[in-house]
Amino acid sequence: MARTRFGFPRFWGGRPALIVACLLVQAASPSRGPEARTANYFDQVRDKPVALAIFLRTLPKGGDLHNHLAGAVYAESLIKWGVEGGLCVRLADHSLTTPPCDPDHGALPLAQALAASPSLYHDLVDAFSMRDFIAHAGVSGHDQFFASFDRFGPAMAGHTPEMIAEAANRAAADHVDYLELMDSPGMAAAWTLAAKTSWRDNPDGLYAQFAPALAPLVEATKSEIATNDLKAHEIMHCEAADAEPGCKVQIRYIAQVIRTFSPAQVFAQVQFGYALAAADPLVVGVNLVAPEDDPTTLRDYAKQMAMLGYMGRRYPTVRLTLHAGELTQGLVPPEDLSHHIRDAVDIAGARRIGHGVDLRYEIDAGGLLKTMAAKKVLVEINLTSNDVILGVKGEDHPFPAYRAAGVPVALSTDDEGVSRVDLTHEFVRAVQTYRLSYGDLKTLVRNSLEYSFLPGRSLWAATAPYRLDPACVRGETAACTSLLNDSEKARLQWRLEGEFKAFEATAWPVS
């Protein structure tokens, strides 16, 4: 079966299968019989870990909206690429380095070191991830997590297509239809451009200064993204009969700005990210990344939010999601816990918030919740990540508070390779911790596509509760076909509803 570039099968002269699927999914919503039977079975297995995990493994999950490409790859792949690339390993801290190796200072060829010490392989997996990590004196989960990227970083060079393919195949195995992968192509050139520029409170002047050099960088980066995307599809054999499962996963990218540089360098990256997202349909948004507790981030946070607000006014069609509130008491001074989420929403104009863990410490947290609910600012919830990095879990996590206030939320993985989890794991954790109903699960899944940055009109006329657009209530009317043809978002949402119908048709055991 041939496939289009973004994973949709083609039937009958190239007509998109999702439009044909309208013939198969006629009802406005799943039949109450199958849905109720599925919900009943879910209630029976919610306290049976193995049965629950099996159920949730096959649950259609929509999208993973908070997924760093660099953190999505498992250590085993990184070690393999390190050997193939002739990298060195520094034995003292298990960091990879580029040749030449320096044995006198403990840096050996990786292949040689692995052959001499088979246990090194397992040590590297632990060093490149959170596997088996136990916090100890001087090293917290936060420290281990962020240090892992520096250790394995050299192994990623030249392997972006393989990384995309790995993330896509793993998502497909987990019944995820859509990924928004955060990555930073072109950002090094952007921050280098501003390396000798001093910050001045004149955004129009800085914008004009950087624009001539950033324009060709945008075009070069568009080409790089397209090439990597195409190579990933070639790796997965997407145009062949033996296409891998990842070919069915629709992928878009978030331009991630590294926020620990000087103000001028961050501004140049932000300007570049917005220009890239405006020019390349594969790039659907912008985000700031790197530790939120970094001294530079804390010092410049207000400046950075103002930069984003300024750029959002220049590029009103570009969407912004922000790491904000990935902090907790004790990690930073109290004043740094009091405003990050609000500033991200009110000043920067974020459409989504990543993490939002320090909600309880925000000034007027109740008012902030009302604002986020009114503006429909979704929070990307990363339960395992927040536990292993910040030690925030269970009832201390704001996930229930967001839901109770009517703020939309969706589960995501953050860095599934480093944390060694998948989206099923996050759903299991959410169910076991917060006693979610089957209806809650469907809302979380639908939220992941409704608040994605895919372009086009939504399939849904309302979201609380979800109610189909009148055009599609009766199935494949001319108006529904027109909506699906015109909207990438609606097509993927329609596909999800078909998957829910098939999932609920499963012959769940009856107690």
Per-residue three-class SS string for 412-443: CCECHHHHCCCHHHHHHHHHHHHCCCHHHHHH
pTM over 0.85: yes
Closest residue by Cα to residue 323 from 275, 360, 290: 290
Taking the C-alpha atoms of residue 187 and residue 272, their distance in angstroms, rounded to an integer, is 8
pLDDT in tens, the chain (511 residues): 343 333 443 322 333 444 334 434 433 444 469 999 999 999 999 999 999 999 999 999 999 999 999 999 999 999 999 999 999 999 999 999 999 999 998 999 999 999 999 899 999 999 999 999 998 888 999 999 999 999 999 999 999 999 999 999 999 999 999 999 999 999 999 999 999 999 999 999 999 999 999 999 999 999 999 999 999 999 999 999 999 999 999 999 999 999 999 999 999 999 999 999 999 999 999 999 999 999 999 999 999 999 999 999 999 999 999 999 999 999 999 999 999 999 999 999 999 999 999 999 999 999 999 999 999 999 999 999 999 999 999 999 999 999 999 999 999 999 999 999 999 999 999 999 999 999 999 999 999 999 999 999 999 999 989 999 999 998 878 999 999 999 999 999 999 999 999 999 998 876 5
For 452, phi then psi, to 5°, come to -70, 165
Per the structure block, which two tokens stand in for 493?
């949402």
Contact in structure between 108 and 97 (CB atoms under 8 Å): no
CA distances in angstroms from 134 to 75, 117, 137, 153, listed in the order given: 18, 23, 10, 22
Please give the pLDDT value at position 350: 98
Residue with tokens 């979704």: 378
DSSP state of 109: E
CA distances in angstroms from 117 to 8, 131, 141, 251, listed in the order given: 46, 20, 27, 39
Residues 412, 24, 27: CA angle, nearest 5 degrees = 80
Give the tens place of pLDDT for each residue, 262-288: 999 999 999 999 999 999 999 999 999
Dihedral of CA 422/425/430/431: which sign?
A: positive
Domain boundaries, the chain: 75-156, 161-450
Taking the C-alpha atoms of residue 177 and residue 252, their distance in angstroms, rounded to an integer, is 11
Q: Give every CB contact of residue 338 below 8 A, 6+ residues apart in sequence.
A: 361, 362, 363
Closest residue by Cα to residue 206 from 119, 163, 267, 127: 267
Percent composition of the chain: helix, strand, coil (DSSP 3-state, to 5): 55, 15, 30
Dihedral of CA 274/288/72/74: which sign?
A: positive
Contact in structure between 247 and 7 (CB atoms under 8 Å): yes
Closest residue by Cα to residue 377 from 482, 450, 429, 428: 450
Per the structure block, which two tokens stand in for 404?
């109770």
Q: What are the helix and strand counts (H, E) for the chain?
A: 22, 15
Q: Give every CB contact of residue 460 below 8 A, 6+ residues apart in sequence.
A: 446, 450, 466, 467, 468, 469, 493
CA distances in angstroms from 231 to 89, 280, 374, listed in the order given: 28, 17, 42
Q: Give every CB contact of residue 52 below 8 A, 6+ residues apart in sequence.
A: 45, 46, 428, 431, 432
Taking the C-alpha atoms of residue 238 and residue 93, their distance in angstroms, rounded to an integer, is 39
Please give the pLDDT value at position 366: 98
CA distances in angstroms from 95 to 104, 132, 208, listed in the order given: 16, 18, 41
For 319, phi then psi, to 5°, come to -95, 150
Q: How many CA atoms lie within 13 A of 507 on its CB side?
A: 0
CATH class in words for 161-450: alpha beta
Please give the pLDDT value at position 72: 98
Please give the pLDDT value at position 137: 83
Q: Give every CB contact of residue 165 below 8 A, 6+ residues apart in sequence.
A: 232, 235, 236, 244, 246
Please give the pLDDT value at position 511: 53
Q: Give every CB contact of residue 54 below 8 A, 6+ residues apart in sequence.
A: none
Burial 402-419 (b: 16+ CB within 10 A, else e): bbebebbbbbbbbbbbbb
- The secondary structure element, H or E, covering residue 140 is none
Please give the pLDDT value at position 30: 44
Per the structure block, which two tokens stand in for 119?
């246990």
Which residues does residue 462 pair with via DSSP β-bridges, in sequence order?
467
